[in-house]
Structure 1
Amino acid sequence: MRAIRLHSFGPADHLVHEWTEDPVPGPGQVRIAVAAAGVHLLDTALREGLSGPYPAPAELPTIPGREVAGTVESLGEGTDPGWLGKRVVAHIGMVPGGYAELTVTEADKLHEIPPGLDEAAAVAMIGTGRTTLGILAFTDLGPDSVAIVPAAAGGIGTLLVQYAKNAGATVIGLAGGPAKVAAVRANGADLAADYTLPDWPQQVGAYLDTIGRRATVVYDSVGGATGRAAVDLLGPGGQHIVFGWSGEGLHDGQPLTFTDQELSERGITSEGVLGPVMLRKAGGLRALETRALAEAAAGRLRPAVQRFPLAEAAAAHRALENRATMGKVVLIP
């Protein structure tokens, strides 16, 4: 098969498109003919040998990628034969291997892709979608809500805007540059602002004055100066929901921190929502994945997807690192 392999840690050019042996499914496993493989910002850190929620690969060469969709084309011993020929999607977890024409994973990680949902959208929902719904478990959106979404043109941001609008909320989306701002506006945000412009807080503040309200929630994956300016637009009782801190650089962002006194004086809360706290709140990963796929199949959530050929995985990584992507980045073998 053809796959993307990493032989040494380093820049995107270290991702090599080459021939390698076909994987063989073991007991309880399936082999998937991959139609779409997800690319995550975390993949760029792991490529450099940095650890995060997942450890950096212990052995090289390795095939990156943990989100795949395609068709089950062979089974390991003892695997339910009903999976053969099914269109499936899976988050394959700690063991990578997604950037390839074929990949192997445990059958108990599979979800059948609902009719009418394509593989690229399914890949977006199995990772980005489940995280979005986990984040949303910490807020109760409705017509009285005013949500600020930094990074609103990204994979999670796109879905947050849609979900909040479906709930009747007023949504302010922030994005970098005219093209991304236009995409946020087209996605339904009531106001789309360019956070690369120095006067964006004043623009958003003027809009809030016009509608006579303050923000009730900030969904913050950015941190730094942008996150701080967004939090400054919260009214009393507002929520600061933290699920990242990408900042102005790729891996050098800083999370916002507040003293108890600051939060008390402002009458707001600030809460990190990733990890075990999300799983407890939302009922576990499997439940989030199932719900995310159902939301997409019903048309309530429509993931934005940017496709790259598998052979251009290095270009996909560079685009992510340069903030030149919109939506979920997906490789197509």
Structure 2
Amino acid sequence: MHAIRQYEFGPPGTLRYEETPDPRPGEGQVGIAVRACGVHLVDTMLRRGSYEGPFARPELPMTPGREVAGVVDELGAGVEEDWLGRRVVVHLGMASGGYAERAVAGVADLHALPDELDHDAAVAMVGTGRMTVGILDIARPAPEDVVLVTAAAGGIGTMLVQAARGLGATVVGLAGGAAKVARVRGAGAEIAADYTTPDWADRVRDALGGRGITLVLDGVGGQAGQAAFDLLAPGGRLVVFGWSGGEPIRFTSADLLGRSLSASVALGPGLLRRPGGLRALQERALAEAAAGRLTPAVQTFALRDAAAAHAALETRATAGKVVLVP
């Protein structure tokens, strides 16, 4: 089979498209003919060797990739025959061999795909979708909210816009550049602003006509996230789920007390401790997509172009969930 291999930490060019031996399923495992594999911002941190989190840095050489969807075509010992030929999606864990034409996973970790979901959408929902559902659980947007979503053209941001609009909330979406702003409007945001322009916050205030932002969902941080935080009206809520802009929003308890704000983090233990854990979030995310309530935006690259996909993701040149197709 072909797979992406990495022998040293560094820039996107360290990802190599090579022929490798097929992985074989062991007891309780299945072999999967991969039809789509997900790419996440964390993958770029793992590639650089700059990941700092609850899990150990992966050992080299490795095949990156945490999420795959495909067809079960080989069974390990002890696996029931009815899994053979089924379309499945699975989250493999950190840097666990997803960027490949074939993958191996434990049968207990599999989700059988409903007919309504294609492989690209399933891969988006099992990782990015579960995060979206977890964020919504913590944020609890309501019809009366005015919700500001940063990076609203991204994989998570697009679905947060959809979910908030589905509840009847007023949605403000931020994105970088005219093309992404148009995508945000297409996802349902009443107000869409280009955060690369210096006066975007003033334009949002004018567009709201005196209404205040009551909920900020921020995965960007940096200057854009900070300006979004400053727009929060007294009594508003902030939910942080990342800082792709380089650093998280900076605020103090005095900032919260002075404006009666609340702040929550939808990362790590904040998600892991949800009832049912990550698997329950995955199941709910897949069900939301199958029912048409959440529709993931997907941008695909060929598997051999994984380095280009990483480069595009790191420079914010992508829209939606990035997916590799073998």
Q: TM-score, normalised by structure 1?
A: 0.95
| Cα offsets for 1:239-296 (capped at 9, x unmatched) | 010011111xxxxx11123222221111111121211122323541111100100110
Q: Which residue of 2 aligns with 1:176?
A: 176
Q: Which residue of 1 aligns with 2:242?
A: 244
Structure 2 contact 65–96 (Cα < 8 Å) conserved: yes
Q: Which residue of 2 aligns with 1:296?
A: 289
Q: Which residue of 2 aligns with 1:228?
A: 226
Q: Which residue of 1 aligns with 2:304?
A: 311
| Cα offsets for 1:140-193 (capped at 9, x unmatched) | 222211100010000000000000000000000000001100100111100100
Residue type at the aligned position of 2:129: G
Match status 1:254 vs 2:255: no
Moved more, 278-287 or 308-317: 278-287
Report the Cα offset of residue 80 of structure 1. 2.2
Q: Distance in 1 between matches of 2:168 and 2:250?
A: 30
Q: Which residue of 2 aligns with 1:162?
A: 162
Q: Distance in 1 between matches of 2:162 and 2:66?
A: 25
Structure 2 contact 138–264 (Cα < 8 Å) conserved: no
Report the Cα offset of residue 223 of structure 1. 1.2
Q: Which residue of 2 aligns with 1:99?
A: 99
Match status 1:113 vs 2:113: yes
Distance 1:233 1:55, change over 3 A: same
Secondary structure of 2:286's aligned partner: helix
Q: Distance in 1 between matches of 2:134 and 2:265?
A: 12
Distance 1:282 1:164, change over 3 A: farther
| Cα offsets for 1:92-113 (capped at 9, x unmatched) | 1135100001000111110001
Match status 1:57 vs 2:58: yes
Q: Which residue of 2 aligns with 1:193?
A: 193
Moved more, 277-286 or 131-140: 277-286
Residue type at the aligned position of 1:280: R
Residue type at the aligned position of 2:222: G
Q: Which residue of 266, 279, 286 corresponds with 1:286?
A: 279
Q: Distance in 2 between matches of 1:150 and 1:48?
A: 25
Residue type at the aligned position of 1:181: V
Secondary structure of 2:105's aligned partner: strand
Q: Distance in 1 between matches of 2:271 and 2:44?
A: 24
Structure 2, unaligned runs of 5 or more: none
Residue type at the aligned position of 2:58: P
Q: Distance in 2 between matches of 1:204 and 1:74?
A: 54
Structure 2 contact 63–95 (Cα < 8 Å) conserved: no
Q: Distance in 2 between matches of 1:134 and 1:33?
A: 29
Q: Distance in 1 between matches of 2:307 and 2:62?
A: 15
Q: Which residue of 311, 317, 323 corresponds with 1:324?
A: 317
Secondary structure of 1:316's aligned partner: helix
Structure 2 contact 62–95 (Cα < 8 Å) conserved: no
Distance 1:154 1:282, change over 3 A: farther
Q: Which residue of 2 aligns with 1:152?
A: 152
**Over 4 Å off, 4+ runs:** none
CA RMSD of aligned residues (A): 1.1
Secondary structure of 1:8's aligned partner: coil
Report the Cα offset of residue 52 of structure 1. 3.2
Report the Cα offset of residue 28 of structure 1. 0.6
Report the Cα offset of residue 57 of structure 1. 1.6
Structure 2 contact 63–97 (Cα < 8 Å) conserved: yes
Structure 1 contact 134–282 (Cα < 8 Å) conserved: no
Structure 1, unaligned runs of 5 or more: 248-252
Q: TM-score, normalised by structure 2?
A: 0.97
Structure 2 contact 64–96 (Cα < 8 Å) conserved: yes
Q: Which residue of 2 aligns with 1:250?
A: none
Q: Which residue of 2 aligns with 1:129?
A: 129
Structure 1 contact 31–74 (Cα < 8 Å) conserved: yes
Structure 1 contact 46–55 (Cα < 8 Å) conserved: no
Instruction: Give % identity.
Output: 59
Q: Distance in 1 between matches of 2:95 and 2:41?
A: 17
Q: Distance in 1 between matches of 2:119 and 2:288?
A: 15
Q: Distance in 2 between matches of 1:115 and 1:9?
A: 39
Residue type at the aligned position of 1:259: T
Q: Distance in 1 between matches of 2:241 and 2:224?
A: 14
Q: Distance in 1 between matches of 2:314 and 2:271?
A: 26
Q: Distance in 2 between matches of 1:120 and 1:137?
A: 24
Secondary structure of 2:163's aligned partner: helix
